[in-house]
Amino acid sequence: MDPRDLWSEALAGVLARPVRSALTTLGTVLGIGTLVITIGIASTAANQIVGRFDALTATSVSVVAPRPAPGANEPPPIAWSGVDAVTRLAGVTSAAALAEGDGTSNVRIRANDVIAPGTVNGQTLAVFSATVGLPAAVHGTMVSGRFFDSGDIERHGQVAVLGDQAAKLLGIDDVEQAPAVFFEGQSYTVIGVLGGIQREQRLSTSVILPPTTGADRMGLKDVTRVLINTSLGAAQQVARQAPIALAPGRADSLTVLAPPDLSRARKGVQGDVNGLFLVLGLVSLVVGAIGIANVTLVTVMERVGEIGLRRALGASRRQVAGQFLVESTAIGLLGGIVGAAIGVVVVVCVAGVKQWTPVLDLRLALGAPVAGALVGLLAGLYPSLRAARMEPVDALRSPS
């Protein structure tokens, strides 16, 4: 039989029962469509998740200096002026240095100097020293008053800035009347309240002093941590350069905490989501294949007389099997084309509704019809073999 005749006979067999063929094709449409939709939406969602990856985390770099050993005479690895060198690095948007000590993490702090019986005499808070760039480094804002400046640092001013939660605990709502806090036998004028802290949120329950004041009054002489904010995508480069800028010759003694590589995060998220939805798509595809096999087998049983007549007229077993294989493959191919088209449209529509950027793999869209044809081919193997094994005499004797 000429291949063109084979295709025309197969097409005539498919179109002889258009409703049944359409319902059979629907199984492949659902399977291929589900596969394209799930993988497409999974890729789009994974890209969106990484696109919305916490910008604060993705641009935050921290450099931690080791605590000096007791009795050590060597200078600290990071000087307070080292922050200026970091801010000059390409990609750095803001930076600040912090100093904290073991003895300043739990300090009894009072908002007045009068101790009245039966009243709360204060709160246990942490005390830090920091440079003037701290509000920008922690993405905070001054909800009241101001942050200390270079003048306060040079004068060794006895001033303090409170975190917003610390201010509430101490009952300080406004700094216009120059309230004071008292600890370690000293008074400090509160000049501002720092709120909206998004990074190093423990500062919201602390008292922050100028570096010179902290060194004079609380022994906070050495920088223990440098907070650096970078432009998006510059974190890895800044993480490599910051230790050298902060401590030339002693960079190896510093510990750098940098965000993970976004490309690895994207691949990890996309791989996990794709793996989950791929299983669902394959299950739907198997269901469609079973539908094609079932309907093709029913078709074979209904056309036993036709098969017997073809065999009696000289058709070989291979030609009979080829006809039914081509029919099932055509159904699968048609279902793959329609399913892929529907899947692409659904992915684009979902992305448009969610205001996402659709991510579509061209290889998947082009390979879906081929997958549908392959599913139809595999699904038609058993029915076609059963048709080919029929003997002409037995087929012609069949009531059908």
Mean pLDDT over all residues of the chain? 82
Which range (56-60, 84-88, 332-336) has the least confidence?
56-60
68: exposed, middle or buried (Cβ count in 10 Å: 0-12, 13-18, 19+): middle
User: pTM for this structure?
Assistant: 0.59
Range list of β-strands (E), the chain: 60-64, 92-99, 107-109, 123-130, 141-145, 159-163, 180-183, 186-195, 206-209, 225-230, 255-257
Pairing relationship of beta strands 186-195 and 159-163 according to DSSP bridges: parallel
Instruction: Provide the pLDDT for residue 388.
Output: 77
* SS3 state of residue 173: coil
pLDDT over threshold 90, residue 61: yes
Q: Is 223 left (phi over 0), alpha (psi -120 to 50) or beta?
A: beta
Whole-angstrom distance, CA of residue 24 vs CA of residue 298: 11
The radius of gyration of the chain's CA atoms, rounded to the nearest angstrom, is: 37
Most confidently modeled of 68-72, 171-175, 289-293? 171-175
State in Å, rounded, how far the first CA of the chain is from the last one: 25
- Confidence class of residue 29 from pLDDT cuts 50, 70 and 90? confident
pLDDT over threshold 90, residue 137: yes
Contact 76, 68 (CB under 8 A): yes
Instruction: Provide the pLDDT for residue 209.
Output: 96
Instruction: Look up residue 217 and give its amino acid.
Output: R
pLDDT over threshold 60, residue 244: yes
Contact 139, 93 (CB under 8 A): no
Instruction: Provide the pLDDT for residue 168.
Output: 92
Instruction: Provide the pLDDT for residue 52.
Output: 60
Q: Which residues touch 294 (CB under 8 Å, ≥6 apart)? A: none
pLDDT in tens, 298-325: 766 666 777 777 777 777 788 777 877 8
Place of tokens 């965000």: 259
Whole-angstrom distance, CA of residue 103 vs CA of residue 183: 13
The arithmetic mean of pLDDT across residues 207-217, rounded, is 95
Place of tokens 């061209």: 362
pLDDT in tens, 323-374: 778 888 888 888 889 888 998 899 899 888 888 888 777 787 788 888 888 8
pLDDT over threshold 70, residue 55: no
- Confidence class of residue 233 from pLDDT cuts 50, 70 and 90? confident
The arithmetic mean of pLDDT across residues 382-390, rounded, is 78
Tokens of 222: 């050495």
In degrees, to the nearest 5, what angle opens at C-alpha 99 toward C-alphas 94 and 104?
A: 140
Instruction: Provide the pLDDT for residue 343.
Output: 87
Whole-angstrom distance, CA of residue 233 vs CA of residue 93: 12
